[in-house]
A = this chain, B = another copy of it.
Amino acid sequence: MSYIEELGIKAKSAESAISTASTLAKNNALAAIAKALVENQDVIIRENQKDLQAAQENGMSQAMQDRLKLDEKRIAGIAQGVEQIIALTDPIGQVIDGFVRPNGLRITKTRVPLGVIGIIFESRPNVTVDAAALCLKAGNAVILKGGKEAINSNIILGKIMRDAVKSAGIPEDVIQVVENTSRETTNELMRLNGYLDLLIPRGSARLIQAVVNTATVPVIETGAGNCHVYVDASADLNMAVDITDNAKTQRPSVCNAIESLLVHKDVADKFLPMIAERFKAHDVKIYGCDKTIAILGDSVEKATETEYATEFNDYIIAVKVVDSIDEAIAHIRKYSTRHSECIVTKSLDAAEKFKKEVDAAAVYVNASTRFTDGGEFGFGAEIGISTQKLHARGPMGLSELTTVKYLVEGSGQIR
């Protein structure tokens, strides 16, 4: 039996205890985790230092090292995140639908845990705790596979969480941390049918693609966001500047930031200089179509297919002047990753057309795409943002970590 299969068996064996645990029992386990993290901060920081030292030796970028780092303040923040999950409503047991059939059968559709969830993620060790806490609250066992650059941090966090849940009377095997980070082990995790009910990759486009190509267990893709703002002919141009600037520059590295700007030709002459002026504060590099260049001048580089298709995740934007809302929607259909798309308009017709015809997890009218987020949507926490259409789409909260069960109650009915 392989190492990963052993983890799968252990997780599966703990599944029924956690899936039938009361909300109180699960919250007690989460409280024990939050407490243990703070109490053990010294040992966490010591193990994290090993990862940081290796990162330095391997010449990891400062930005990446910063993502990897755990200190007292960050550990307190992680513990606080767990406390917030305690405060969320338990989705398990929720009755979604219910009806009585003509033959008297009473059918109730209720929310139940998924079972065992695998998470494959990169660098930031806080995900280890966030993801485990969310899975546990929704009654699931979890197998966590972090990056090898954070292996010491992940192992100690796993150990502390396992001890904590055990002290709260829940089997420690509901939380499994993969200690062997080899590619073979990871591939095996992606094919752990019979033990894994869902696998969620969180991280780079490359990681997600690798999981999609290799996995035979059910997967939810997260992340990729080639998002657009379309400024309609009727737009309030000051609002359009605020929204475009916010969606591009407030945090350009995240998936709900925009990468392209589409502007109706009737307002391009007026709007493009306004947004170019605003972009100066962040020194945003602009690629544009010929019309954009004609309006903004030679500081704009010519945009090609490549720029329109790229998720820059940086202070870079591709701009196109379009003849109509139809051209804007066609452009979005061609290049969008169907994450978040926005129209700025005063026209009811344009707003309705955009909402109807644009296919994305979140379609915005007159608001920044940066709101596509579990917290901003009011879900309290999120395990990621799904960019696929199956099971979950958009920000995934606790409900998305559940499935359903039909309870069928009768008095001897037969067919």
Q: Is A282 interfacial (CB 8 A cutoff)?
A: no
Residue A394 contacts which of B216, B219, B333, B404 (CB distance < 8 angstroms)? Answer: B404
Q: What residue of chain B has the Cβ atom nearest to residue A367's Cβ? A: B410
Q: In the complex, how many angstroms separate the beta carbon of A258 from the nearest chain B beta carbon?
A: 12
Nearest-CB residue, chain B, relative to A212: B216
Asked if A218 meets B408 with Cβ closer than 8 Å, knowing A107-B377, A250-B414, A377-B107, the reply is no
B413 in contact with A371 (CB, 8 Å) = yes
Task: Please judge, given known A-B contacts A363-B405, A367-B105, A408-B364, whether A246 and B415 are in contact too, CB under 8 Å.
Answer: yes
* Contact indicator A101/B378 (Cβ below 8 Å): yes
| A283 on the B face (CB < 8 A) | no
**Inter-subunit contact B406/A394 (CB<8 Å):** yes
Q: Is A76 an interface residue (CB 8 A)?
A: no
Interface-side segment among A130-138, A272-280, A353-361: A353-361
Please report the C-alpha to C-alpha distance between residue A107 and residue B415 in the assembled complex, in whole angstroms: 44
Contact check, A115 vs B359: say whether CB atoms are below 8 A apart: yes
- This protein's copies in its complex: 2
CA distance A372 to B105 in the complex (A): 11
Contact A357 B390, beta carbon cutoff 8 Å: no
A242 CB → nearest B CB, Å: 5
User: Which residues from B are CB-within-8-Å of A359?
Assistant: 16, 19, 112, 115, 405
Which one, B243, B366, B405, contacts A393 given CB within 8 A? B405
A114:B412 contact, CB within 8 angstroms? no
Instruction: Kindly report which residue of chain B lies nearest to residue A388, judged by CB atoms.
Output: B218
A72: chain B residues at CB < 8 Å are none
* A189 in contact (CB, < 8 A): no
Asked if B367 and A413 sit within 8 Å, CB to CB, the answer is: yes
Interface of A is mostly: mixed
Q: How many residues of A are in contact with the other chain, CB < 8 A? A: 67
Q: Does A365 contact B (CB under 8 A)?
A: yes
A68 at the interface (CB under 8 A from B): no
A377 to B239, CA, bound (A): 50
Whether the pair B212, A213 counts as a contact (CB closer than 8 A) is: no
Contact with B along A376-415 (1 / 0, CB 8 A): 1110000000001111011000000001111111111111
Known: A390-B391, A393-B405, A407-B355. A376 touches B19 (CB 8 A): no
Any B CB within 8 A of the CB of A99: yes
Q: Is A368 an interface residue (CB 8 A)?
A: yes
Q: How far is A135 from B33 in the complex, measured between Cα atoms in Å?
A: 46
Which of A193, A247, A365, A405 is most buried by chain B, counting CB atoms within 10 A of its CB? A405
A370 lies within 8 A of chain B by Cβ: yes
**Inter-chain contacts of A351 with B (CB < 8 A):** 409
Additional pairs, 18, CB under 8 Å, beyond known A362-B406, A371-B415: A19-B359, A20-B356, A101-B377, A114-B390, A115-B359, A115-B389, A218-B389, A239-B412, A362-B407, A363-B405, A367-B409, A367-B413, A367-B414, A368-B413, A371-B408, A376-B415, A390-B391, A393-B404
- What are 19 contact pairs spanning A and B, CB under 8 A? A16-B333, A16-B359, A101-B377, A107-B377, A197-B388, A218-B389, A239-B412, A242-B412, A355-B407, A360-B405, A361-B405, A363-B407, A364-B408, A365-B410, A367-B412, A370-B414, A371-B408, A390-B403, A393-B406
